Amino acid sequence: MLTEQQFREEIKVFVEKMRENKLNWQLKENGKYARESHLETLSDGRNVSADVHILYNSTYQVPTLWFNYFENNGTPIPFDTVVRDILKISESEESDSSIRQRISHYEHPILGVLYYNIHPCNTSNVMKELKTEKGYLISWLSIYGQQINLKMPDFSKLQ
């Protein structure tokens, strides 16, 4: 678990590291959360924008991943398409850390529009089993980011 203070310290270092590794993370609202955006290609060839945020969840005291996908005019991509073309999560995937079991759709606490979110109830269990010597957030994202196809830096290069 992380205190909010720890989260804020970690997220700052995290964004710096990601940027050093040429990943488009940004610190938002004085370090309240971090944001990454990139394009994803759907199976019909269209490019849609992906918006990914890392926010602190004070109930579970862990970071949470919020994300959504939009057409260029701002229309969210339908859930079925997201599952099929972007998340590509197989129906048999049943690991405890799999977002398949934890994905939800809620009003984003800052944006006020619906975003997907990975429910944080299991995060601290998953994190207990991980070595976090590379930093809590990077280890965390290596688990959860992977499941939404987030680009991660080459770990061998990270200090």
Partner 1 sequence: MATFVPFKTFLDTAFWREVNKKKLHDWKLDESPKEIYSQLSLYDTKGSECALSLSHDSFTSSSEASNGLSISGGLILYNTRESFKAAATTNSREELMELKATKIWDAVQSRSWLQNPQLLNTFFIIAFADLKKFHYIYKTCVPALIFPKEIQQEIVPLTAYNANESNLFTHHEKASSPVFLLSNVSNEILDLPQLENNNNPDEIIIVIADPCPVSSSAGWLVRNVLAAVAQLHPSWTYCNIISLRSAGSVGFKFSWVSSEGLQSGVPRSSGWEMHYSADLKKYFDPKIMMEESVDLNLKLIKWRLNPDLELERYSNLKVLILGAGTIGCNLARGIVPWGVRHISFVDNSTVSYSNPVRQSLSEFEDARLGRGKAETAVAALQRIFPSVQATAHRLTVPMPGHTIDEKEEEQLQKDIEKLEQLVKDHDVVFLALDSREARWLPTVLACKHRKMAISVAIGFDTYVIIRHGIGSRKDSVSDDSNSEAVPYSQLSCYFCSDVTAPGNSTSDRTLDQQCTVSRPGTSMIVSGLAVELLASVLQYPNPLETPASLDDNTTLLGAAPHQIRGFLNRFQQIHPIVKRFERCVACGDSIADQYQQNGWKFVRDVMNSPKRLEEVTGLDELQDSVDAIDIDFDDDESVVSN
Q: Which residues bind partner 1 (CB under 8 A)?
A: 15, 19, 22-28, 30, 37-41, 47, 49, 51, 68, 70-76, 79-80, 83, 91, 100-101, 103-105, 108, 110-114
Cα–Cα distance for residue pair 149/87, rounded to 1 Å: 7
Closest CA to 51 of 75, 67, 31, 34: 67
Least distance CB 61 / partner 1 (angstroms): 24
- Which residue's CB is nearer to partner 1, number 41 or number 58? 41
Is the Cβ of residue 1 or residue 113 nearer to partner 1 in the bound state?
A: 113
User: Please, which residue, 75 or 132, has the CB nearer to partner 1?
Assistant: 75
Q: How far is the CB of 152 from partner 1 (least distance, A)?
A: 14
- Residue 45, number of CB atoms within 10 A of its CB: 6
CB of 27 vs partner 1, minimal distance in Å: 6
For the beta sheet containing 103-107, the strands, ordered from the edge strand earlier in sequence to the opposite edge, are 25-28, 33-41, 47-57, 62-70, 114-118, 103-107
Q: Active-site positions?
A: 121
